[in-house]
Amino acid sequence: MNITFEEMKQWDSKDELKDFRKEFYINENSIYLDGNSLGLLSKRAEQALLDMLESWKNLGIDGWMKGKNPWFYFAEKLGELSAPLVGARKEEVIVTGSTTSNLHQLLATFYEPNGRRTKIVADALNFPSDIYAIQSMLKLKGYDPSEHLVQVESRDGRLIDEQDILFSLNEEVALLILPTVLYRSGQLLDIQKITQEAHKHGILVGWDGCHSVGAIAHQFHDWEVDFAYWCNYKYLNAGPGGVGALFVHEKHFGRTPGLTGWFGSKKEKQFDMEHHFTPAETSGTYQIGTPHIFSMAPLLGSLGMFDEVGMEKIRKKSLHQTRILMDLIEQELSEYHFVIANPTEDARRGGHVSLEHPEAARICKSLKEYGVVPDFRKPSIIRLAPVALYTTYEEIFQTIEILKKIMKEKHYEKFSNEREVVA
């Protein structure tokens, strides 16, 4: 049975999250499907930043301890607000650093080679920055990455077979670092199962949640994930370069961070200015330098919406919208040689649809000329991400209509099949 435009309009009218679209700055002349790279600005995020500027204006240095959101405790407050998104206790999450700097911190803390147990396992499809950080840490510890970094290969170039991950775990492995969702294909890994199996081998597990936090509910505490890290500028709409976040399970509290800095101190001791580090007794100890207050402020406004909605409703709509998008692709574009590269099962799918096509780079350029904002990833992937808080069903339908027109008229042929400098 074909999906019709009228059905899409009906889904929009019944959508219990539809009013949140009004919270965002939407360019009505375009369809934004790149929220898995950079989320749109919300009015609440804007106001949170303006409020923080006011606190600087009116309080000066007293803003560290006074005002609505004292800066000295701001990272901890944002961590507490973020904790429900990943199923964590409030002390287990801190907003700090960036994805890569946080991974460096966590590697420096949890990579403790001992005897034969020297290797780090990652996947061969992981985001490059994670691999750079792992290679860097191995070199710093005196190990050759070509021998001590084990990358689980993909069988098809799209997905990672979880059995291959489990097969790689043995007494030579110290750490397992994986993405919750593969950034190209959108494959969602079984976090709980993999973590449990790794622990049976005495292996600590860290998860990169960049492509899942804010789109998928997690239970990091109950699943006994050792640590995790993520950015906040994708599904959480914290703005370009927004400060990242990390999770450390409370069972690891008491460890001294591998990279220490004064903002990781116990709050009561920080301004004693001693040359002896007294670590905070929470995940706050993994902070290094002074918090980037203005880059953190928009997240405060954004998290308020997630608190109101809850991850269950966000995930439900996300799964439905990506399902409809896939159905429309099969319904309308079957003759144009597109391949849906992401898993189609709900339990294995992240928040975006991954389309493969030999002309992907130029198709993305063509979509942009028609007012649709997609995302290109080498070698031949078009990522389309409906975001539950602001993407409508009508927009999904219109996107497929535009893509069909582009393919039928070969509009994409006017462009080169090469990525832009920023893809």
> Is 190 assigned to a binding site?
no
- On the question of pLDDT at 151 being above 70, the answer is yes
- Over residues 199-205, the mean pLDDT reads 98
CA distance 35 to 344: 20
Which residues of the chain form CATH 3.40.640.10? 48-308
Q: Distance between CA 10 and CA 24 in Å, rounded? A: 22
Fold of 5-32+310-414: Aspartate Aminotransferase, domain 1 (3.90.1150)
> Is a pLDDT exceeding 90 seen at residue 269?
yes
In whole angstroms, give the CA distance from residue 306 to residue 312: 10
pLDDT at position 346 is: 97
- Residue pLDDT, tens place only, 80-134: 999 999 999 999 999 999 999 999 999 999 999 999 999 999 999 999 999 999 9
What count of Cα atoms within 13 Å lies in the side-chain half-sphere of residue 215?
A: 34
The reply, when asked if residue 74 is annotated as ligand binding, is no
* Cα-based distances in Å from 393 to 4, 16, 18, 42: 11, 13, 10, 20
| 182-214 residues labelled b (16+ CB within 10 A) or e (exposed) | bbbbbbbbebeebbebbbeeebbbbbbbbbbbb
Look at residue 293 and tell me whether its pLDDT is greater than 80: yes
Retrieve residue 386's tokens. 């409906």
Question: CA-CA distances (angstroms) from residue 317 to 41, 182, 257, 387, 391?
Answer: 20, 20, 39, 9, 10
Instruction: State the DSSP code for 154.
Output: P
Helix (H), strand (E) at residue 80: helix 74-86
DSSP 95-113: E-S-HHHHHHHHHHHH---
Task: Write down the H helix ranges in 168-236.
Answer: 191-200
Closest CA to 21 of 48, 40, 46: 40
* β-pair type (173-179, 119-123): parallel
User: Is 71 labelled as part of a ligand binding site?
Assistant: no
pLDDT range class, residue 419, cuts 50, 70, 90: confident
211 has binding-site annotation? yes
Q: Is the pLDDT of residue 420 over 90?
A: no
% pLDDT > 90, the chain: 98
Answer yes or no: are the C-beta atoms of 185 and 342 closer than 8 Å.
Answer: yes
The helix (run of H) or strand (run of E) holding residue 81 is helix 74-86
**Which residues 6+ apart lie within 8 Å of 57 measured at CB?**
none
pTM listed for this prediction: 0.96
CB-count burial class (<10 Å; 0-12, 13-18, 19+) for 129:
middle
Q: Where are the alpha helices (DSSP H) in 281-384?
A: 293-309, 311-332, 360-369
Q: Tokens at residue 70, please? A: 């004292």
Is 100 marked within a binding site?
yes
| Contact (Cβ atoms closer than 8 angstroms) between residue 284 and residue 253 | no
Was 156 annotated as part of a binding site? no
Is 62 annotated as ligand-binding?
no
- The whole-angstrom separation of Cα 17 and Cα 241 is 27
Average pLDDT over residues 5-25: 97
Alpha-carbon gap, residue 160 to 154, rounded angstroms: 5
Q: Which two tokens stand for residue 61?
A: 């240095």
- Give the per-residue pLDDT at 418: 85
Architecture per CATH, domain 48-308, reads as 3-Layer(aba) Sandwich (3.40)
* pLDDT at residue 421 greater than cutoff 80: no
Q: How confident is the model at residue 338 (pLDDT cuts 50, 70, 90)?
A: very high
Q: Is 130 annotated as a binding residue?
A: yes
Which residue has tokens 């009505």? 28
285 in a known ligand binding site = no
Annotated binding residue at 233?
yes
Residue with tokens 């942009």: 368
Whether 255 has a pLDDT exceeding 80, the answer reads yes
DSSP-assigned beta bridge partners for residue 32: 373
d(CA 112, CA 64): 36
Among 291, 289, 296, 290, smallest CA distance to 239 is for 296
Distance CA 97, CA 374 (A): 27
Higher pLDDT pick, 28 / 89: 89
Residue 322 marked in a binding site: no
| Mean pLDDT of the 122-147 span | 97
pLDDT at 1 over 80: no
Domain with CATH 3.90.1150.10 in the chain: 5-32+310-414
**For position 417, what pLDDT does the model report?**
86
Give pLDDT, residue 189: 98
pLDDT value at residue 123 = 98
For residue 279, the cross-strand partners are 265
Instruction: Please write down the long-range contacts of 72-79, taking CB distance under 8 Å and 24 or more positions apart.
Output: 72/267, 73/267, 74/291, 74/293, 74/296, 75/263, 75/284, 75/287, 75/291, 75/296, 76/282, 76/284, 77/300, 78/245, 78/296, 78/299, 78/300, 78/303, 79/245, 79/283, 79/284
Average pLDDT, the chain: 97
